[in-house]
């Protein structure tokens, strides 16, 4: 019997207009995806993947040990099975006969070498923080990998589905992270950072009933108007990040369907505690209280989303705490905290629509509501290209989005624990942050779900009340889809574009 927590089933697609989706998948054609992500600083190294373009590229050519299916369930992928008696020692049996694009057969050594790339002392991998609990990885024959953890973690099989952790072929115990060689449904032919990636169908793909297209092109079209025009003009077949402002206009095109999924996507304005004045608790609290959240949901998302409460856990995530009071705009309290902070003068908020559609407008709305509280915010428009490498995780206050993660522990480990590369609030050293980091470790090891729920509720409260995360809204994924495209009834909501795997799961009718 596997010692696993109850599986988290993520919400699937809400609707798609009258499509005959029960049709048998057909092979052929070139799928052109217009992605609202991508940067000239993107790399083939999976440890560096930081946006939807690179996520889609990784899933184009690679597979992980497990995956979140289109129905939202965690299922084996390159692993045939996984089990544990105590949630501390996890045994993954690999599928036999799986080949990499270079002809090498998948073995346990490839898994070990891949994980070593992310875990190494010099590693800058974004997945490094997720793997800190792993104390040892060893092979038990060619087709079995054993992970030893420092403490029990019932969620560990979810962790190995992370898009950074696609398995690469090893040679002499090492992988080449820049080679772009994997076991996935498509073989990379062209990669131009910030421009496009092109792959052709892998004739030896091990996964039955998947990877139907002859060729897949992911094109970086960061400008939302250009992206939507490309879909309306027939230059692409599928786009992500449709602007809520123009979704109705796009949906009136007879050749296009609108596909909307709801899950864990949230829009944030992280304040870095290592950049003054955001090291000041009262200033952070003043800014959180100076935001009209419903106005942002109404005017930026046009209702395609829900209120955020300054923590990253959505109702779609395990251990969401529904009884934490919803933070609202409070002019008097905001003024009180701002006065107490001792700050005066302008506060810069860096933003760009590269963060999310409407991010500039959202920043201006925040500035307007803050002005009602006597707080002056200067909205700084940053260039779209290079935003993720030059602004996010560097400047004191900026706009950001998070796709969310399937479990609370994973979300905390990705963005909030002290040792993750992606702690974009630098919330590490306050007493509340230290309590949070301690609780995350304890909750991960706790197999009693009631006790675990209490710990995770406290974690959400600590982030909400002390952390640098301003999380005003959860947004639906809105995609524009050519009516020529077909897919299963269920569409994953863990990431856009069917969990980032539309190129593997969909087909032309």
pLDDT score for 23: 66
Interacting residues of 248 by C-beta distance below 8 A, sequence separation 6+: none
Q: What is the Cα 429 distance to its own chain's centre?
A: 25
User: Residue 507's closest CA among 237, 187, 301?
Assistant: 237
With beta carbons less than 8 A apart as the criterion, state whether 472 and 308 touch: yes
pLDDT score for 34: 98
Largest CA distance in the chain: 66
DSSP state of 58: H
Q: Show pLDDT as tens, one digit a residue, over the chain (509 residues).
A: 233 333 334 444 444 444 444 468 999 999 999 999 999 999 999 999 989 999 999 999 999 999 999 988 889 999 999 999 888 999 999 999 999 999 999 999 999 999 999 999 999 999 998 898 899 999 999 999 999 999 889 889 999 999 999 999 999 999 999 999 999 999 999 999 999 999 999 999 999 999 999 999 999 999 999 999 999 999 999 999 999 889 999 999 999 999 998 788 999 999 999 999 999 999 999 999 999 999 999 999 999 999 999 999 998 787 899 999 999 999 999 999 999 999 999 999 999 999 998 999 999 999 999 999 999 999 999 999 999 999 999 999 999 999 888 889 989 999 999 999 999 999 999 999 999 999 998 998 887 889 999 999 999 999 999 999 999 999 999 999 999 999 999 998 888 999 999 999 999 99
The side-by-side arrangement of strands in the sheet containing 266-268 is 305-307, 473-475, 266-268, 400-402
With beta carbons less than 8 A apart as the criterion, state whether 103 and 109 touch: no
Using CA atoms, how far apart are residues 37 and 163, in angstroms rounded to an integer?
Answer: 15
Q: Is 265 left (phi over 0), alpha (psi -120 to 50) or beta?
A: beta
pLDDT score for 449: 82
pLDDT score for 406: 81
Using CA atoms, how far apart are residues 2 and 84, in angstroms rounded to an integer?
Answer: 5
Number of neighbours of residue 46 by Cβ within 10 angstroms: 31
With beta carbons less than 8 A apart as the criterion, state whether 182 and 103 touch: no
pLDDT score for 13: 44
Supply 52's token pair. 């939807």
pTM for the structure as a whole: 0.76
- Which ranges of 314-448 does DSSP label H, i.e. alpha helix? 331-341, 359-371, 387-390, 408-415, 431-445
Mean pLDDT of the chain: 93
Supply 65's token pair. 């040990």
Q: What is the secondary structure of 181-193 as a DSSP string?
A: --SSSEEEEEEET
Supply 74's token pair. 């965690």
DSSP state of 48: G
Using CA atoms, how far apart are residues 340 and 281, in angstroms rounded to an integer?
Answer: 10
Using CA atoms, how far apart are residues 365 and 359, in angstroms rounded to an integer?
Answer: 10
Number of neighbours of residue 342 by Cβ within 10 angstroms: 10
pLDDT score for 444: 86
Using CA atoms, how far apart are residues 284 and 352, in angstroms rounded to an integer?
Answer: 21
Using CA atoms, how far apart are residues 293 and 365, in angstroms rounded to an integer?
Answer: 10
> Residue 290: what are its φ and ψ, rounded to 5°?
-95, 10
Q: What is the Cα 239 distance to its own chain's centre?
A: 17
């Amino acid at each position: 019997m596997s010692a696993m927590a109850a599986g988290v089933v993520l919400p699937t697609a809400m609707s798609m207009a009258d499509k005959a989706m029960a049709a048998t998948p057909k092979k052929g054609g070139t799928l052109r995806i217009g992605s609202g992500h991508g940067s000239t600083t993107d790399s083939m190294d999976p440890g560096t993947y930081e946006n939807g373009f690179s996520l889609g590229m990784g899933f184009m050519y690679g597979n992980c040990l497990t995956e979140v299916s289109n129905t939202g369930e965690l299922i084996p992928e390159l692993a045939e099975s996984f089990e544990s008696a105590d949630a501390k020692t996890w045994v993954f049996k690999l599928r036999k006969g799986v080949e990499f694009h270079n002809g090498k057969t998948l073995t346990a050594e490839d898994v070990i070498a891949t994980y070593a790339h992310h875990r190494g002392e010099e590693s800058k991998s974004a997945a490094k923080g997720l793997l800190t609990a792993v104390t040892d990885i060893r092979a038990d024959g060619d087709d079995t990998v054993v992970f030893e953890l420092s403490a029990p973690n019932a969620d560990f099989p979810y962790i190995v589905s992370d898009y950074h952790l696609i398995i690469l072929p090893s040679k002499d115990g090492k992988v080449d992270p820049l080679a772009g060689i994997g076991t996935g449904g498509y073989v990379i032919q062209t990669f131009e950072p910030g421009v496009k990636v092109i792959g052709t169908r892998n004739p030896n793909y091990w996964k039955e009933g998947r990877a139907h297209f002859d060729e897949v092109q992911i094109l970086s079209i960061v400008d939302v108007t250009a992206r939507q025009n490309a879909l309306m003009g027939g230059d692409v077949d599928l786009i992500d990040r449709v602007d809520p402002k123009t979704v109705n206009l796009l949906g009136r095109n007879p050749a296009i369907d609108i596909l909307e999924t709801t899950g864990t996507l949230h829009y944030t304005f992280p304040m870095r505690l290592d950049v003054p004045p955001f090291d000041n608790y009262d200033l952070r609290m003043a800014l959180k209280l100076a935001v009209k959240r419903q106005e942002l949901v109404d005017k930026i998302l046009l209702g395609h989303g829900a209120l955020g409460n300054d923590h990253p856990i959505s109702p779609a995530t395990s251990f969401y705490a529904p009884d934490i009071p919803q933070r609202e705009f409070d002019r008097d309290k905001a003024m009180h905290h701002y006065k107490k902070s001792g700050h005066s003068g302008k506060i810069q908020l860096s933003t760009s629509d590269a963060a999310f559609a409407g991010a500039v407008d959202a920043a201006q709305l925040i500035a307007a509501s803050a002005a009602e509280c006597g707080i002056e915010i200067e909205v700084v428009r940053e260039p779209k290209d290079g935003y993720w490498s030059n602004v996010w995780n560097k400047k004191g206050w900026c706009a950001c989005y998070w796709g969310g993660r399937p479990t609370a522990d994973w979300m905390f480990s990705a963005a909030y624990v002290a040792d993750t590369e992606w702690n974009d609030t630098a919330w590490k050293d306050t007493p509340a942050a230290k309590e949070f980091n301690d609780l995350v470790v304890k909750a991960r090891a706790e197999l009693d779900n009631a006790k675990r729920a209490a710990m995770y509720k406290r974690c959400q409260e600590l982030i909400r009340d002390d952390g640098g995360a301003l999380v005003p809204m959860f947004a639906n994924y809105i995609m524009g889809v050519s009516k020529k495209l077909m897919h299963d009834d269920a569409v994953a909501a863990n990431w856009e574009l069917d969990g980032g795997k539309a190129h593997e799961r969909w087909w032309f009718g």
